[in-house]
Structure 1
């Protein structure tokens, strides 16, 4: 965590201590001068006192340094210039030495104090820069509008050493508290009235301001040009005379940074809402299109076949009657698969799909999915390449079978008559790779990733005239729930390869 503690100026209780320190340094200078007068001339003794003045000037303020210079000047004149123990000066060269000493002492004290002031200014600037950098880092890690507000309040309170309350307009336009620090100031009717005034006029108010000076907090608009950004109420410590200039400037600078991040967060939320609304509208339209075409088609066929049976049952030959019944059964099964896909997609979208894992042979799942395919597509040829050794998966067997069946059904839609669908299972390290290949027209490279989107194209196969566009999307959701992946690849001799990868956990230990 970045240390943003502010360098504190000396408190008022140290002012007397500064003068005591200056007096002690001057007395020490006198003592050294009394010892050194045996070896140095009177003019050289001035260097001892000049050193004492510099020490005090660097450690304290200008007034204390001037006090030290005058004290050393009087003592130097009283104890070391002839005649001694008087303030009179007998020789002209002593007058020059004493006068130059005083001038040099005052100039040196001024320069030393200015240097000390510049150092303090640099520390203040460093404190401000580190505080703003810390604020920027914290705000950059926020993931939403409320997170930005909470982080801003906590950082303001810690950096400015006070309590903070953040107001923002609610959807009806009324001010509401949206975030507050742990030591937030109490807000009475006067504070709330002042907050409303600040929101309306975009000007500071409250304690130490011309407007509403009697309340107990300092109110500032987050962004005077953007009322939606809100305002903050600050209750700063040690502000009997009002916030000092550095802290006031830092508060304004931090609010400017917070305003920019809040605006970005609001825009991001607005864009996300627009995106979700657009996606919802797109899915709604696709679902309506699917329902209007893909679900009505089998219903129309079933109703037509059933109506023919009802009207002409006695006039139909047994073969025609069986054909109509088979048509009703086939279309009913197709309708059942469509509805099952819709239900599975709903369960995946709402996160209610629960995995009831069990150990199962991968080849057994593949053969079960192929068996289902042959019931619905008896004329579709399927070639299988299964591993000789048993490959155990720890999965929800029904879900993996459904996912593989969706891929097989999609391949059957695309495969031309007489062309087989190939199913290949292979172990690759700690993964099981299932490849389902067809001999269809293939998928353009730009669309291979999009075929796993819901309702991507109702006009192509499972993406075509008999599909809802949900089969591969459900497959990706079911495989992803098991920690696997699905991707579409081009076939070596044309067509498409759907590649399913599932993790292989360590095999279970045999029981006793």
Structure 2
């Protein structure tokens, strides 16, 4: 590492030499104090220690200056004849020359070691900064938070003022987030940002492009996918070498660009997934409308046509059966349409919860009574709570969800087999289980019965359903913070379990 890239290079040169001179004076003071106790050869070790102290703290040229001072002072003050630069004894000539050689070699080794330590320290600081930035970026998904985190991390690691600049819908550049002092949204800084964004190369201060700008601008992204630029105003007196800081800035900008590209790809994948899901639902809806919704319409039209053509030839009982058939099929069609409307409201987030305190047993009983009305031949066995347990829910939505589950069980239960409804309290939650004795659901398909339109193939309502019932049930219960799951029934069949949270009971009024 060169002198200019050392952390202490920010010191003025005269301060280094003043520091070395002071250390030399202290070394000679210690040598004079020890002269009465030590031999002349041992005094050289004290001066050699001073040379090492300066070499570790400063650059090589200052260490050489210190070694020469100590060499001359040792010769002048301690070798006979004293207070002259003349050396009388040949052994002293060898000792003084060896002192100079050892001082120079030790100073060289000390400065090299200090340089390596500084390089390792800077590398460690750079790796720590990049690791911290990577961890924070990995936890961010949207571009706005990525830019905010990146600007904060770069400002902290580089001791710089940072501005994130993006191209807006009108084609111009604008800063996003806080604008640091000294950043000009117009003029040379903006020209440098525009050049860096268009050509995806660094521009501004310290570069061949738009070098009159006060900021150094780095591109984020590549030629194929540009994500704006980052403008840095590096403080001249900040710790760390300029070359090292610029290398770290480039690496951090690359990480931020990769995170922005990851965010763009995630958004593109999500858009593709939503589009595919929309197409799948559209196809399923068309299939449902063409088959399931036409079935009750065909039955209604057939019954109404028979009444219109043969009313006089039909007996009162036959006319009553046809009218009842029209009523039943109309009600079934109304439920299908209501399910479609509820699913639309759930999918667009338009479902509003008008919560109220309601007895859990009353909500379940209301759903049971509704299913008994539409399926009078279905035996339903109930097991309710003995104590009053209040739910804070939208009663109509929870009743509709339970009705969908019960109607699903009615469609799959064999004739004469009962459907069991069990209500109890478990670990601060209300548990409602609907058990049927139908054919059951294969393990790999239990989760899929809650998918929208799944029953077009074999789902929650069999041949007579649109496949919306259990999907709506999951959406309505989930909106209240609850859950729905399908479990294997005892001795065959299926158990649909609904879990609803039980908030603290309200305080009784005065």
TM-score scaled to structure 1, two decimals? Answer: 0.89
Residue deviations 1:116-173 (CA, integer Å, cap 9, x gap): 111111111111111111111111110223322332232223222223344556789x
Which segment drifts farther, 21-30 or 215-224? 215-224
2:15 aligned to 14, 17, 20, which one? 17
Give the distance between the partners of 2:198 and 2:339, measured in 1 at CA: 55
1:183 aligned to 180, 185, 195, which one? 180
Cα deviation, residue 280, structure 1: 1.2
Residue deviations 1:80-126 (CA, integer Å, cap 9, x gap): 22333222222222222222222221111111111111111111111
Decide whether the 8 Å contact of 1:53 with 1:105 is kept in 2.
yes
Give the distance between the partners of 1:205 and 1:429, measured in 2 at CA: 63
Residue deviations 1:255-287 (CA, integer Å, cap 9, x gap): 232333233222222111111111111112222
Give SS of 1:222's match.
Answer: strand
Decide whether the 8 Å contact of 2:174 with 2:185 is kept in 1.
no
TM-score scaled to structure 2, two decimals? Answer: 0.89
Give the distance between the partners of 2:314 and 2:270, measured in 1 at CA: 60
Give SS of 2:267's match.
Answer: helix
Structure 1 equivalent of residue 458 of structure 2: 460
Give SS of 1:497's match.
Answer: strand
CA gap 1:171/1:276 in 2 versus in 1, 3 angstroms: farther
CA gap 1:425/1:39 in 2 versus in 1, 3 angstroms: closer
Residue deviations 1:301-340 (CA, integer Å, cap 9, x gap): 3334334444554554333332232222212211221222
Structure 1 equivalent of residue 105 of structure 2: 107
2:400 aligned to 402, 416, 424, which one? 402
Structure 2 equivalent of residue 498 of structure 1: 496
Give the distance between the partners of 1:196 and 1:431, measured in 2 at CA: 59
Structure 2 equivalent of residue 431 of structure 1: 429
Give SS of 1:465's match.
Answer: helix
Residue deviations 1:2-51 (CA, integer Å, cap 9, x gap): xxxxx982364543232222222222222222232223333332222212
2:378 aligned to 377, 380, 386, which one? 380
Decide whether the 8 Å contact of 1:223 with 1:256 is kept in 2.
yes
Give the distance between the partners of 1:126 and 1:221, measured in 2 at CA: 25
Residue deviations 1:175-234 (CA, integer Å, cap 9, x gap): 744745531722435444444443444433322222322222223333556543444332
Give SS of 2:464's match.
Answer: coil
Give the distance between the partners of 1:276 and 1:227, measured in 2 at CA: 23
Give SS of 2:423's match.
Answer: strand
Structure 1 equivalent of residue 269 of structure 2: 271
Which segment drifts farther, 282-291 or 429-438? 429-438
Give the distance between the partners of 1:8 and 1:83, measured in 2 at CA: 42
Note the aligned Cα RMSD (angstroms). Answer: 2.9
Decide whether the 8 Å contact of 1:359 with 1:393 is kept in 2.
yes
1:252 aligned to 247, 250, 253, which one? 250
2:210 aligned to 197, 212, 216, which one? 212
Decide whether the 8 Å contact of 2:484 with 2:496 is kept in 1.
yes
Paired positions, count: 504
Give the distance between the partners of 2:14 and 2:476, measured in 1 at CA: 78
Does structure 1 residue 291 correspond to structure 2 residue 289? yes
Within 5 A, what are the aligned runs for 1:26-425? 26-167=24-165, 174=171, 176-177=173-174, 179=176, 181-183=178-180, 185-223=183-221, 226-238=224-236, 244-425=242-423
- Ranges in structure 2 where 5+ consecutive residues have no aligned partner: none
Give the distance between the partners of 1:47 and 1:56, measured in 2 at CA: 14
Cα deviation, residue 426, structure 1: 3.0
Give the distance between the partners of 1:363 and 1:227, measured in 2 at CA: 59
CA gap 1:236/1:506 in 2 versus in 1, 3 angstroms: closer
Decide whether the 8 Å contact of 1:167 with 1:175 is kept in 2.
no
